[in-house]
Structure 1
């Protein structure tokens, strides 16, 4: 128990330090709220550890409960602050966050007063019931508020990691509501004087009642909400690294086709200005320039595209629809380059490909199409132009 909860507390404290101190400047919106969230959850986890509980309660009896509950409310407020800063404009987010902070301060102050009075009155059940009512009221309000924000954001966001993260946080909210329902049951049992649930008993197992509701449920809520909110920040650098590797490999794979087109038509290569020179090390920029150069080269070859070559390629090529189209396009482009070098035009000009890069809308789809064309082009036999002005495969 000590290893689990204190280990999680240290991990969350380190994560909070990274978010607050290691994010650089200027810090993105929500940095302080995320730091407060992780620090609050870290304190909540520490308060569950018997070692920490015994240490603080040796100074003030039963104070671990107040620390845990206060940290839970602070974490819930931090979660709301993050969701407001993500979903709302700056002015509205600040207004709502300010209101929640005031409610948090009032709730923690009221809980502290009631806790102190409870200790003076030798743990009066009525005073403890009022303490629980104040705690449950604000916690339930904050959890339901964030649950609504998380569900809305998970439906509207385009990023998969953000969508999955908010859904994980929503599941964490469900566990938090289970914990709130358990506390509400304790409240009613105290109010009726039945003492149905031993709320002050120590837990030795995370799966036995009532510990599964009083400890396991909030622990799972903390874990899922933290993972859900930090998932996009963890996935983003991994995604960027994978994208960079794909861009570098694609840039190299398009090199032979680009070289042949640029050698035949040097004018297709875009001239570099000062801004381009600054971005010369950016793989995204370099790949985009190469894709544009190749697309312009294929466009410039339109007068040399042979209808006969295209018809033959369509009859002889196999494979799937897109792979077959790439083979046909590569064959036509190689024959068109042969006509360009020979200075002759085909008898009948083929129309442009309906699946060429000019018809596509983003860099990835442009690149994926041209990668197929470049691969097919590299495996096509050389082409010569016969006396009749028609391109023919060498050795055919």
Structure 2
């Protein structure tokens, strides 16, 4: 049963990895897609190595009994690290996201180095055992090793669940992305059930109670959590919602996004507007990211806008035209180095659930006004 449960998880991991690797082949400059593909790959490797017919020959080839467990646990930690990097690239401008991604990777490598030291020093390499947790968890160094592993994995899973839930609340205009993020959050929580079961086993073991069934109960949580997690992150790619409308909205945001990107390059995921062409299967993610970057650019523009909060208009078209004028004037002031006092209070914007329609209207008004000005000066 152990091999069947983890074998199913391994198969799901390799399918998801191949699916995203194909997208990555067409979009190698996308760091978020690289992080997602890496996370899927490490998950697939971890579950594959756990299957007995794979585990035993690799363990024998390494020449150190039970050392393959370090490879499995390392891949699981790296899975959570790259999943956190993916969320960082979705949430933050490129420079800040890269900095956070480096910090996350360094923290992960420190954890792995400590785990490697503990397992190599532990007296568990005299004989091979398939019942690793039940046989060695009571040993002092292994108790520290397994505790560190569970803390690293569980903290990553909880942050993933929290962040995915946050992003889902912001993606009201992208239903398949919203559903996918919610399912991703559920998958992370299911996977956390693995940590709860194994962690409970360690706590009871330290108290002198051998609750071996907890070790076995954890396995279905791991596989079910991974499958749900992978389904959630790939779901926006297979949603049937009118892709022409999505692509049309994505292109409609191009004039406004490009203008803000030229003024504030740090808001963009990619270094060039030409590097932000929507990849097949990732349109929901790209559209969501473009919306976030426009809001980031509008926030960066605030000091250059004389009246960042014009009187609200009842008509959407007039409101969009007023906003487009404010952005155009702010960009001109930015190029001339003219700033204004930023009023206290938070940035106002359209009610949640209408961001995409609002930004498309503003971008079209912005593009129309820009074209008109160019004709007037021709």
Question: How does the TM-score come out when normalised to structure 2?
Answer: 0.55
Q: Could you tell me how far 1:3 is from its partner in structure 2?
A: 5.9
User: Where does the alignment leave 5 or more consecutive residues of structure 2 unmatched?
Assistant: 127-135, 247-356, 359-378
Residues 11 and 145 (structure 1 numbering): CA distance in 2 closer, same or farther, change over 3 Å? closer
> 2:79 maps to what in 1?
75
Distance in 1 (CA, whole Å) between partners of 2:37 and 2:80 is: 13
Distance in 1 (CA, whole Å) between partners of 2:107 and 2:73 is: 15
- Equivalent of 1:180 in 186, 189, 195: 195
Distance in 1 (CA, whole Å) between partners of 2:8 and 2:150 is: 27
- Equivalent of 2:41 in 36, 39, 43: 39
Q: Could you tell me how far 1:120 is from its partner in structure 2?
A: 5.5
> 1:58 maps to what in 2?
60
User: Where does the alignment leave 5 or more consecutive residues of structure 1 unmatched?
Assistant: 199-207, 245-360, 363-396
Distance in 2 (CA, whole Å) between partners of 1:9 and 1:182 is: 21
- Equivalent of 1:94 in 94, 98, 123: 98
> 1:116 maps to what in 2?
120
Please provide the CA RMSD for this pair: 2.7
User: Are residues 1:171 and 2:176 paired?
Assistant: no
Distance in 1 (CA, whole Å) between partners of 2:154 and 2:16 is: 26
* Greater than 6 Å deviation, 4+ residue runs: none
Distance in 1 (CA, whole Å) between partners of 2:150 and 2:9 is: 24
- Equivalent of 1:212 in 191, 209, 217: 217
User: Are residues 1:9 and 2:7 paired?
Assistant: no
Deviations 1:208-254 (A, max 9, x none): 754221x111111211111111111222xx4346869xxxxxxxxxx
- Equivalent of 2:145 in 117, 123, 131: 131
Preserved CA contact (<8 Å) 1:5 1:48: yes
Question: How does the TM-score come out when normalised to structure 1?
Answer: 0.53
Distance in 1 (CA, whole Å) between partners of 2:106 and 2:224 is: 27
Residues 14 and 172 (structure 1 numbering): CA distance in 2 closer, same or farther, change over 3 Å? closer
Larger radius of gyration: 1
Q: Could you tell me how far 1:119 is from its partner in structure 2?
A: 3.5
Preserved CA contact (<8 Å) 1:172 1:222: yes
> 2:157 maps to what in 1?
143
- Equivalent of 2:226 in 222, 225, 230: 222
Q: Which has the higher contact order (CA 8 A, sep 6+)?
A: 2
Preserved CA contact (<8 Å) 2:17 2:40: yes
Q: Could you tell me how far 1:57 is from its partner in structure 2?
A: 2.8
Preserved CA contact (<8 Å) 1:85 1:93: yes
Distance in 1 (CA, whole Å) between partners of 2:179 and 2:216 is: 29
SS of equivalent residue, structure 1 residue 34: helix
Preserved CA contact (<8 Å) 1:114 1:131: yes
Preserved CA contact (<8 Å) 2:200 2:214: no
Q: Could you tell me how far 1:42 is from its partner in structure 2?
A: 0.3
Q: Could you tell me how far 1:103 is from its partner in structure 2?
A: 1.1
Preserved CA contact (<8 Å) 1:40 1:74: yes
Preserved CA contact (<8 Å) 2:115 2:145: yes
Q: How many residues align?
A: 233
> 1:356 maps to what in 2?
none
Q: Could you tell me how far 1:165 is from its partner in structure 2?
A: 0.9
Preserved CA contact (<8 Å) 2:197 2:217: no
Q: How does 1:375-390 map to 2 (within 5 A)?
A: none
Q: Could you tell me how far 1:75 is from its partner in structure 2?
A: 0.8
Q: Could you tell me how far 1:69 is from its partner in structure 2?
A: 1.4
